[in-house]
Amino acid sequence: MAELSPVLKQATPVLAARGEGVHLYDEQDRRYLDFTAGIGVTSTGHCHPRVVEAAQRQVGTLIHGQYTTVMHRPLLRLTERLGEVLPDGLDRLFYVNSGSEAVEAAVRLARQATGRQNIIAFQGGFHGRTMGAGALTSSGTKVRSGIGPMMPGVAFAPFPETYRHGWSETEAVRFALGELDQLLVTVSSPRDTAAIIVEPVLGEGGYIPAPPEFLAGLRDRADRHGILLILDEVQTGVGRTGRFWGHEHAAIRPDILITAKGLASGFPLSAIAAGQELMSRAWPGSQGGTYGGNAVAAAAAVATLDVVRDENLVANAAEQGSRLREGLHKVAAEHPVIGDVRGLGLMLANEFTTPDGQPDTTTATRAHAAAAERGLLLLTCGPHGNVVRMIPPLIVTADQVDEAVGLWSQAV
Ligand code: PLP
C-alpha cells in the first residue's frame, strides 16, 4: 500500500473534510477556526459561494484552453480586472500556476530585459522552492541545504530588522541600505545586476514589514543604477496587508510585480505584471507554461476580485487586522514569552523569546499545538520557527477575531 512521503510533514493532526468561510471541519465534523487560510490562499474564505459558482460554471464550459494556442474569456476578463487594481503602467500580464513559478518568470524577464545576470535578494527572504526561486530564498536552511549548486548570480543583502537587533526603524533602514550600497560596489556591480527582488513583508522569514523608507531606498538605488525592482507580492497581494498591494504602504512603484496565493481563493494561479516596454523585451515562447492561466483558475480569480471589491475586503483586512493586533498585544502583555507582535493588516506574528533574548522555539511550538487542540489553526515561521503567525481569510469578522484571541490566550 502506498503512503504519503514523510517529506510532507504535517503540522497538525487535522484531516480536513470541508471548509466554509473562516472554518475548516474534520471528518468528525469538529470545527476549526482557520487562521492559516491555506498559507494565505483562501482570501475570500473557504468555498465562497461566488467563487464556487464561477468555478462550477467554468468547469462545465471550458476547463483548459492553452493560452499560446487559443485564448479564452476568463483570462481576458481577469487581465481586465487586474488592470483596475495594478499600479499605473504595469499593464502587461502573463500567468503561471504558483508563487515559485512567478518568481522564476520575473527573474527570467529581468534578465531578458536588462541583459544582466545578477539578482539581489534579502536575508530572511522566501521566494519558493524551485531551483531558481530557491536560489533567492535565504529563509532557513530547509529549502537549499543538500541540493546545490543553486542558480548562480544571487547576492543577499540584509533586510531591516528592528526587534532582533534592538534598533529603531531608522537605524535598521540605514544599516540595510548601507550594506546594499556596499554590496553594489564589492559583490554585484550595477553593470551586472538585473534586479532587486523584495517582499513588502518578509513572509516565511518572520512577518517583518519592510519600512516604507527602505522600499523607497530600494526604488532609489534601482533608478540610479538601471536595476529593475521586483516586488514579490505572492503573499502580501490582494488585500492581505490592508491595502490592495503590500507595497502601497510605501507609495513606490515596482517595475515587475508578481502575485499568487490569495488571487484565486485556492485555485493554482499566479500573475506577472510589468510595463509594456519591459514586457516587449521577453521573446514569445520564453515564458509561460502548459497550465498557466487555466480557465477554471482564471474564472475563480475574477470571482475572487469581485468578492474582494464588493465585500470591501481590503478595508476589512485593515480593520480586523487592527483589532487582531490589539488583542495579540494584550495577550503578549500577559505572557512575556511573546517578545514581539508585528505585521501589517491580516498578516500578523507573535515572536517567542526566552528571558535572555534567544528564540524560544519550544514554547512557540507548544503554543501552536495547544491552539490547534482548542480549535484554532495557526502557522509558525521565522528562521528558528519561533514565530507563530496568524493569516485568516480576509472575510474574518470582529467576533471571529475575538474568539481567536481568546483561544490564543488560553494556548499560550
Ligand atoms: N514568494 C513568497 C513571498 C511566498 O510567501 C511564497 C510561498 O510561501 C512563494 C514565493 C512561493 O510560492 P509557492 O509555494 O506557490 O511556489
- Contact call for residues 351 and 337 (beta carbons, < 8 A): no
Phi, psi of 330 (to 5 degrees): -65, -45
Residues 303 and 318 occupy one common structural domain:
no
Ligand 1 center to residue 61 CA distance, Å? 30
Does the CB atom of residue 127 touch ligand 1 within 6 A? Answer: yes
Same domain for 205 and 268, yes or no, is: yes
Q: In this structure, which residue's CA is closest to atom 5 in ligand 1?
A: 235
Structural domains of the chain, count = 2
Q: Which atom of ligand 1 is nearest to the CA of 268?
A: 15
On whether both 291 and 345 belong to a single domain, the answer is no
Rounding to the nearest 10 degrees, give the CA dihedral for residues 190, 234, 301, 10: 150
Helices (H), 115-265: 131-135, 169-186, 212-225
One domain, residues 303 and 316: no
Asked whether residue 290 is assigned to any structural domain, the reply reads yes
Residue 276 lies in a domain: yes
235 lines ligand 1 (CB under 6 A): yes
State how far the Cα of 211 lies from the Cα of 216, in Å rounded to an integer. 9
Q: How many angstroms does the Cα of residue 107 sit away from the middle of ligand 1? A: 14
36, 122, 127: which to mutate for ligand 1, most atoms within 8 A of CB?
Answer: 127
CATH number, domain containing residue 321: 3.90.1150.10
Measuring from atom 13 of ligand 1, which residue has the nearest CA? 99
What are the Cα distances from residue 50, in Å, to 53, 130, 386?
Answer: 5, 33, 37
Give the bridge partners for 202, in sequence order. 208
Same-domain check for residues 57 and 164: yes
Q: Are residues 90 and 132 in the same domain?
A: yes
Q: Specify the 3-state DSSP secondary structure of 78.
A: helix
Residue 139 sits in a domain whose CATH number is 3.40.640.10
Cα 32 to Cα 15, 305, 315, 390, distances in angstroms:
11, 26, 25, 14
Contact 335, 410 (CB under 8 A): no
Among candidate residues 310, 326, 361, the one where a domain is terminated: 310
- Does ligand 1 lie within 6 Å of residue 233's CB atom? no
Shortest CA distance to 120 belongs to which of 26, 204, 184, 31?
184
In this structure, are 400 and 298 located in the same domain?
no
Regarding whether 193 and 302 lie in a shared domain, the answer is yes
pTM of the model: 0.97
276: Cβ contacts below 8 Å, ≥ 6 apart:
91, 92
Give me the helix-helix angle, 398-411 and 313-334, nearest 10°. Answer: 30
Length of the chain: 412
Reading the block at residue 411, the C-alpha cell is 494556548
CA 6 – ligand 1 centroid, Å: 21
Residue 12 neighbours by CB distance under 10 Å: 17
Please tell me the number of Cα atoms within 13 Å of 317 on its side-chain side: 33
Cα–Cα distance measured from residue 72 to residue 63, given in angstroms and rounded to the nearest whole number: 10
State which of 310, 328, 362 marks the end of a domain.
Answer: 310
Report yes or no on 40 lying in a domain. no
In a domain, 10, yes or no: no
What confidence score (pLDDT) does residue 140 get? 62
296 and 353 co-located in one domain = no
**Whose alpha carbon is nearest atom 12 of ligand 1?**
99
Domain membership flag for residue 5: no
Closest by Cα among 302, 298, 301 to 65: 298
Q: Name the residue range of residue 166's domain.
A: 53-310
Mean pLDDT for back-to-back runs of 10 residues, the chain (412 residues): 92 95 98 97 98 98 95 98 97 98 98 97 96 89 83 96 94 98 96 98 95 98 98 98 98 97 98 97 93 97 98 98 98 97 98 95 97 97 93 98 98 98
Whether residue 215 contacts residue 135, with contact meaning beta carbons closer than 8 Å, is answered with: no
Q: Is the CB of 98 under 6 A from ligand 1?
A: yes
* Grid cell locating 359: 528564540
Strand 31-34 relative to strand 23-26: parallel, antiparallel, unpaired?
antiparallel
Cα–ligand 1 centroid distance for 372 (angstroms): 24
What are the DSSP calls for 10-22, one per residue? -SS---EEEEEBT
Q: 49 vs 55, 104, 229, 246, 300, CA distance in Å?
A: 10, 33, 37, 27, 11
The pLDDT of residue 19: 98
Residue 3 domain-assigned (yes or no): no
Judge if the beta carbon of residue 236 lies within 6 A of ligand 1.
no
| Number of Cβ within a 10 Å radius of residue 62 | 14
**Any domain includes 120:** yes
Last residue of a domain, one of 252, 275, 310: 310
- State the pLDDT at residue 141: 67
CA distance 72 to 302: 13
Compute how many other C-beta atoms are within 10 angstroms of the C-beta atom of residue 151.
17
Distance 268 CA to ligand 1 centre (A): 12
Instruction: Tell me the residue type at 182.
Output: Q
- How many alpha carbons fall within 13 Å on the CB side of residue 254? 28
Does ligand 1 come within 6 angstroms of the Cβ of 136? no
pLDDT recorded at residue 144: 82
Tell me if 45 is assigned to some domain: no
Return all residues near 247 (Cβ < 8 A) that are at least 6 apart. 200, 215, 231, 233, 236, 254, 257
- Both 243 and 138 in a single domain? yes
DSSP-assigned states of every residue in 318-345: HHHHHHHHHHHHHHHHH-TTEEEEEEET
In this predicted structure, what is the pLDDT of residue 94?
98
Q: Find out whether the beta carbon of 74 lies less than 6 Å from any atom of ligand 1.
A: no
Same domain for 332 and 200: no
Task: Identify whether residues 29 and 87 lie together within a single domain.
Answer: no
